[in-house]
Amino acid sequence: MNASNDPHGPSRRSFLKASGAALLSSTLLDRVAHAAARRIAPGAFLKGDETLKVALVGCGGRGGGAAAQALSTAGPVKLVAVADAFRDRAEGTLRGLMTDHAAKIDVPADRVFVGFDAYQHAIDQCDVAILTTPPGFRPSHFEYAVAKGKHVFMEKPVATDAPGVRRVLAAAAEAKKKNLKIGVGLQRHHDPGYLEAVRRVQDGAIGDVMFQRVYWCDGGVWHQPRQPGWSEMQYQMRNWYYFNWLCGDHIVEQHIHNLDVANWVKDATPVRARGHGGRQVRNGIDDGEIFDHHQVEFDYADGSKVFSYCHHWSGAWSSVSEHAHGTKGYADLAGYRIDGAKAWKFERARGEEPISPYQREHDVLFDAIRNDKPHDESVRGAQATMTAILGRMATYSGREIAWDAALASEENLFPDVLDWNANPKSLPDANGRYKIARPGGVAST
């Protein structure tokens, strides 16, 4: 297929080529791969009534929530291990889970693992690994879980730089060979309102989609001020949201949700991006190295565009939403509404109780594990992550960046050594300030 008749354009082809994971569309090939997976990983699947052992790796707020949702799925399930870099986080989250899920928790003191290698010990104990550390650790943790033949739920984003995305794609290819089930925390794909709204747009309810607008504009998140006695590594780990090797900047950590919806609508990834950003409001001593606003224009191969905005400004206009504009109408995707000749508004069936999409994504994953149903969200998660990283590269550099060049980037943000006394790559100056990317200056990720 040449570029002129590929509806996804060159970026999607090169993305899948980079992954090393050709998508098998033939039913026969799927059956062969499935049979091979059972030979590779015998015992990877349990009968529906057997107990699934879960390990939680990363004991922050999202980790505690994900573990609670896993323990609320149908069928026997037990939490058997927890892991975190910090003991107070591991033990605190475990205590919190005991409040509502004590009967499903079997985590003695010797299965509370702490430190940079804690993830390995926890994953060794389980059937299903829940990976919810700061996203900079996701590639290595996912690699290890797949190597050990474990099913995985991992939070978004799945990396913070292009080398990390490529590692996730390589591990995803191995997971496919082993027939492992992989969930990624882009929960809008499990929200009935979003599912129906996107389906209708893709079926032509608003005509051809000309452009989309996507937003994650709010007041921002917490800080962890530096404490006496903390090493630089401890400080950055405790204040992880403000350092790119851990978080990726808020365009990657949060705005990924909206960019994922844009890709979903187009069933494609962008081919290039340009934009700007900086620090205008959140410029305190504990605001690390990230921007407080980004504005990006993404081009897709079919000529359509996505206009992307995110900021962390308290007291300013705010919105977390996605909007598609077509030749025959408009879709408020977050509002589950279409205006135009084919107007529509999502309504639940009479008496239907809403189920949180955060719970649904675990229900679907655990059902797939118990009943050996196809379930792999890893490539989609990597695509959404890379889209957000592309946006950050454009805003940090002030340059137009092509998808292929971004995906091929060799700039690795991760520290060379993980140790409490080792230094990350980004260090403060004598005043405690970190170097901030300067658009139009040296190109930066």
pLDDT digit string, tens, across residues 232-271: 999 999 999 999 999 999 999 999 999 999 999 999 999 9
Sign of CA dihedral 141, 143, 148, 153: positive
Residue predicted with more confidence, 392 or 40: 392
pLDDT digit string, tens, across residues 286-298: 999 999 999 999 9
Contact 261, 386 (CB under 8 A): no
Contact 131, 154 (CB under 8 A): yes
Number of helices and strands in the chain (H, E): 14, 15
Rg (CA), the chain: 22
Range list of β-strands (E), 222-370: 272-278, 293-299, 305-312, 319-326, 329-332, 337-340, 344-345
Residue 4, judged by CB atoms within 10 A of its CB (0-12, 13-18, 19+), counts as exposed
List beta partners, residue 152.
129, 182
User: Which class does domain 3-187+358-376 fall in?
Assistant: alpha beta
Q: Which two tokens stand for residue 217?
A: 């504009």
pLDDT digit string, tens, across residues 368-411: 999 999 999 999 999 999 999 999 999 999 999 999 999 999 99
Quick one: pLDDT at residue 373? 98
Residue predicted with more confidence, 31 or 307: 307
Residue 123, judged by CB atoms within 10 A of its CB (0-12, 13-18, 19+), counts as buried
Residue predicted with more confidence, 36 or 179: 179
Quick one: pLDDT at residue 36? 42
Residue predicted with more confidence, 443 or 362: 362
Share of residues in the chain with pLDDT > 90 (%): 86
Nearest-angstrom CA–CA distance, 286 and 321: 28
The answer for residues whose C-beta is within 8 angstroms of residue 109's C-beta and 6 or more apart is none
Q: Which residue has the tokens 């297929």?
A: 1
Sign of CA dihedral 278, 283, 289, 292: negative
Quick one: pLDDT at residue 15? 55
275 band by pLDDT with thresholds 50, 70 and 90: very high
351 band by pLDDT with thresholds 50, 70 and 90: confident
Task: Pick 189-353+386-407's CATH classification: 2.60.40.420, 3.30.360.10, 3.40.50.1820, 1.10.10.10.
Answer: 3.30.360.10
**Is pLDDT of 13 > 70?**
no
The sheet with strand 77-84 has its strands ordered as 112-114, 77-84, 52-57, 128-131, 151-154, 182-184
Nearest-angstrom CA–CA distance, 248 and 233: 16
Q: At what angle do helices 256-266 and 192-202 cross, to 10 degrees?
A: 40
DSSP per residue, 212-252: EEEEEEE---------TT--HHHHHHHTGGG-TTTT--HHH
Residue 407 vs residues 108, 163, 272, 410: alpha-carbon distances, Å = 43, 8, 11, 9
46 band by pLDDT with thresholds 50, 70 and 90: low
Quick one: pLDDT at residue 352? 82
Contact 300, 256 (CB under 8 A): no
Quick one: pLDDT at residue 4? 37
pLDDT digit string, tens, across residues 74-128: 999 999 999 999 999 999 999 999 999 999 999 999 999 999 999 999 999 999 9
Residue boundaries of the structural domains of the chain: 3-187+358-376, 189-353+386-407
H or E element that contains 130: strand 128-131
Quick one: pLDDT at residue 443? 41
Continuous H helices in 58-152 = 61-71, 87-101, 118-123, 138-147
For the chain, the residue count is: 445
Question: Which residue, among 413, 388, 414, has the nearest Cα to 403 in the 3D structure?
Answer: 388
Quick one: pLDDT at residue 45? 56
